[in-house]
Structure formats: C-alpha cells, structure tokens
Amino acid sequence: MSIVESLSFFKYTLLICIVTLSSSVMAQSSVSSEKSNWQLSLALGAGVRTNPVLNNDNMPLIVIPKISYQGERFFIQNLDIGYSLFEDDDQQINLLLTPSYDQVFFNDSGINNFVDTAGFTTATKSTPTVELVSHAIDKGRLHTRRMAGLAGLEYSRTLGGLDFQLQALREVTHYYDGNEMRLAISKGIRVGKNDVKLTLGANWQDATTLNYFYGLRESEAFGNSPYHADSGVTRLLRFDWNYEIDEHWSLSFFTSYRHLNHSISVSPLVTGNNVVTAFAGGVYHF
C-alpha cells in the first residue's frame, strides 16, 4: 500500500478519535482535582516570525500562552488533542487531532502573534519578484486559506538519548483533503537550572495540500500564469533554551529556521524560501 493510500485511512479515524476522546473526558471528569494534571504558563517578551507570503507583514510575538493536560490516556498540548493507544517506558502511539499551520501566513488577524508554530514552522529569492516579471497579484481575488484540522497517528520513541516523533496525518475538515507526514528528532540536555534542546525536523506535504495554500488558480491569476504546486518536504532546525529561576518563573529563548520546499518557494504568492522565528522573554508558570 502506498503512503497516500495508507494515509487516506485516517479520515475514517476521526469519528473513532472523537468518540474515544469524549469518553475519556467524561470518565476523567469524575477524577478529583488533586489527581488532574493541568499546566498553564504565559510567556511575555519580544520576538518575530518572518512571513514569506507576498506583501504580508512579519508577525510580532509578544505574549505566548501554553496549556497542557495529561490524563491517564487523554492529553492536550496547546492546539493538539490526543489519546494514547499504547505506551511503555520507551515508546508511545497516539491518536491525534492537530491543526494545519500554513494558514497563519495568510491570516491578518493578531491571533498569529500568540501561537508558537515554529516547532513542527528572510532570505530573498535569486529570481526576480512577481511584480517585476508579471502583473501584480490582486490578493482580494485569492480564495480564503483556512486553518484545517488534521487527524492521524503519532508514534514517538526514545532511543540512545534521542527523542523521535513521527506523525501521519490526513486533513479531515474537507477544505482540501490533503496528507502530511511530520518527522522530528530532538536531543535535550539539562545542566543545573538550564534546559537546552535541539530539534531537527521535516514536513512532507502532498500536492493537494500545497496547492490549497500556495497554488494560484485560473480565477485568481488575473493576467498571471496559474501555478500548480507539487508535493515537497520542508526542513526545520530549532533551538530552545530555558532557565529556571524559581517555582513560578523562568527565562526562555527559542529560535527556528524553516527551509521551505521548492514547490512553495517558487509559488507566485511567495517571496522568500525560508521562515525564521525567534523569541526571548520571561515565563510565568501558574
């Protein structure tokens, strides 16, 4: 069975996932608050995420909330919701609901300033920009790129001091019915009150996904040539540093470099081939 055929299975797991998660929530709601495991933190500082989409401003990062919950099987990690199917000391298999993140580059709302998508997301192209080679693109003609929901399986494993994470996902909100695979390998080191982590990642997206976000339809071209994207792999390098001050306060810094795949970087809607994110600030843990 091919990757695409096997991934199509995941759109049928959404109903199972929702029923399972709902059952878990109801079961765990009867557990006393002492046994619950909610964690909430709020980072306040200064940062930026560059935006490669035509004429869109870079996104400032000022306040970044983080929320997580870990039950016996059900868990929440920021915008991810999951249910553990199997777990031992070294590995874990989860059902997962997670959003697509490419939409943040097309959204003018301030919500993007409160979401850290650098983990699992400005050089200039060597070719002339769109305005120099063709008619200016009328962004008012572009269809709305929506934040879709992805469902699938997540496999994580610790081996030789390295953490491996693989996600096989299918878009289930039917905006574009695409497939993604996300891979991350990370190494964490703790020295005294310092926590340091380095992550290498890759995100494969099929042509259907990339066309939805970065393609240019005939109705949108308006004097330009339509653009049809192929599938591609975007690569990621991320560095995190945290320093614990006391029970409630810590210092945090992270930066990431995301090298966009060729199908994205040559799109008429894109003026760069990478996304750089950086943030530094203080974090309060409730």
Q: What pLDDT was estimated at residue 281?
A: 98
The mean pLDDT value of the chain amounts to: 83
- Among 2-6, 35-39, 198-202, the minimum mean pLDDT is found in 2-6
Of 14-23, 100-109, 174-183, 271-280, which gets the smallest average pLDDT? Answer: 14-23
The pLDDT score that the predictor gives to residue 140 is: 78
Distance CA 195, CA 69 (A): 21
Q: Can you give the pLDDT at residue 145?
A: 93
Does position 282 have pLDDT exceeding 70, yes or no?
yes
Among 10-24, 237-251, 254-268, which stretch is predicted with the lowest mean pLDDT? Answer: 10-24
Check residue 142 and give its pLDDT.
87
Q: Which residues pair with 80 in a beta bridge?
A: 77
Q: Are 225 and 134 in contact (CB under 8 A)?
A: yes
3-state secondary structure of 122: coil
DSSP letter string over 52-97?
A: -BTTPPPEEEEEEEEEEEE-SSEEEETTEEEEEEEE-SSEEEEEEE
Kindly give, in sequence order, each residue whose CB lies less than 8 Å from that of residue 87, ignoring residues fewer than 6 positions away.
93
pLDDT given at position 33: 42
The secondary structure element, H or E, covering residue 208 is helix 207-214
More confident call, 8 vs 184: 184
Q: Which residues of 2-17 are buried (b: 16+ CB within 10 A; e: fewer)?
A: eeeeebeebbebbeeb
Q: Are 251 and 282 in contact (CB under 8 A)?
A: yes
Residue 181 has pLDDT above 80, yes or no: yes
pLDDT of 268 > 70? The answer is yes
Q: What is the C-alpha separation between 82 and 154, in angstroms, rounded? A: 9
pLDDT tens digit sequence for 131-170: 333 457 777 788 899 999 999 999 999 999 999 999 999 9
Q: Using one digit for the tens of pLDDT, what is the confidence trace for 28-39?
A: 444 444 445 899
pLDDT at 173 over 90: yes
Task: Return the pLDDT at 284.
Answer: 97
Q: What mean pLDDT is predicted for residues 36-51?
A: 93
| pLDDT given at position 109 | 54
pLDDT at site 27: 46
- The class that CATH gives domain 3-29+40-122+152-285 is mainly beta
| 144-147: Cβ within 8 A, 24+ apart | 145/102, 145/103, 145/106, 145/107, 145/212, 145/213, 146/103, 146/173, 146/175, 147/99, 147/100, 147/101, 147/103, 147/104, 147/107
Q: Which of 17-31, 96-110, 231-245 has the lowest mean pLDDT?
A: 17-31
Q: Give the start-end residues of each E strand in 74-178.
A: 74-77, 80-87, 91-99, 149-159, 162-171
Pairing mode of beta strands 249-259, 149-159:
unpaired
pLDDT at 68 over 50: yes
Tens of pLDDT along 117-142?
555 433 333 333 333 334 577 777 88
Looking at residue 138, what is its pLDDT?
Answer: 76
pLDDT at res. 39: 94
Average pLDDT over residues 237-261: 97
Question: What kind and span of H or E run contains 214?
Answer: helix 207-214
Percent of the chain with pLDDT over 70: 78
Higher pLDDT, residue 24 or 256 = 256
